[in-house]
Structure 1
């Protein structure tokens, strides 16, 4: 690196001397006094000096061949002497509609009034697939099923929760074609489920069995 810099400095010095119309050299007297400078007139023929001068001008951006040098573009697409544009603040937009075709288990996509799309992502599932494979909004409310055995239930979820009216057949949990059934041991007795929103309660033998339906689990509590 030092050698290359030295060559460049020498070329620049030579160019400065040559630009005055003379070739020059420096010599030191034997007695150590001030140096004497000898010069010869410049010839009109282009030679080493002109070639070196052109190379130096090109190196520092002063060359004129073919017009002025243009600023080299940088990776951001701006010229080196161009300021970046000021940041743009998007105006507030209103949601026009939900794009149902872009639903996922955990997300919704909305079209805004300016044509842009806005995604809303949830940490828990917000959609379930129906019998046709389409995503539908999850609703965890427990409702009458109209079927014998399991009189209350919820099927608008990522899994199905069913609640019976007998102690030997209290709860049935279904997901991906598999199921688990829960009941109490001993002789079967009537046990009418009490429903409040997404919660089902069974009063049995002085305690309450409480089942809570969410989008991620069916939770049992003994109170």
Structure 2
């Protein structure tokens, strides 16, 4: 029996020590402003980012990174990693992906029998999608499954941030995850088929929320 599923569950687990739980990606500021204030508005905010930003840019880019790692295309890995870093529209968003990428790279280096591609070590700053994609490629996880788990992890982190910041009850969080999870398969299929010319991370609300969070007086999260 293949180890791909257990490895994927490990990669997507909240126990993965990359610090994802410490970030809200501007959601905390949206709560402070009152734009996000209950289950309905939290779901609207998270689903909007999932469908219009993460699903249309981060997901297809991560898929291309995994394919590049699988064939040892160092120049393509470097290009896509640099493109993702350049796409971060605030200092907090950029610091978040660099910190999480660094933590996952360090973890993978510490795992027994995990290969250490020279291209991975050579990246001066590794984004989280680049590190995730390498792990998925090495563990021979199908790209579609990898993207499903990647998007699910993102949704789960956002919902957990909403539970803490609004706050919401556990049942409300699970209801939100049921809705978000139901949208993931179609977004993954879209990401796999989407030409790079049509990628888009146009999400001005996210950019503004993240920028304003940098000077928010009282906060629980790092972004």
| TM-score, normalised relative to structure 1 | 0.20
Q: Which structure has greater strand proportion? A: 1
Q: Which structure has greater helix proportion? A: 2
Task: Give 1 or 2 for the bigger CA radius of gyration.
Answer: 1
| TM-score, normalised relative to structure 2 | 0.20
Q: Which has the higher contact order (CA 8 A, sep 6+)?
A: 2
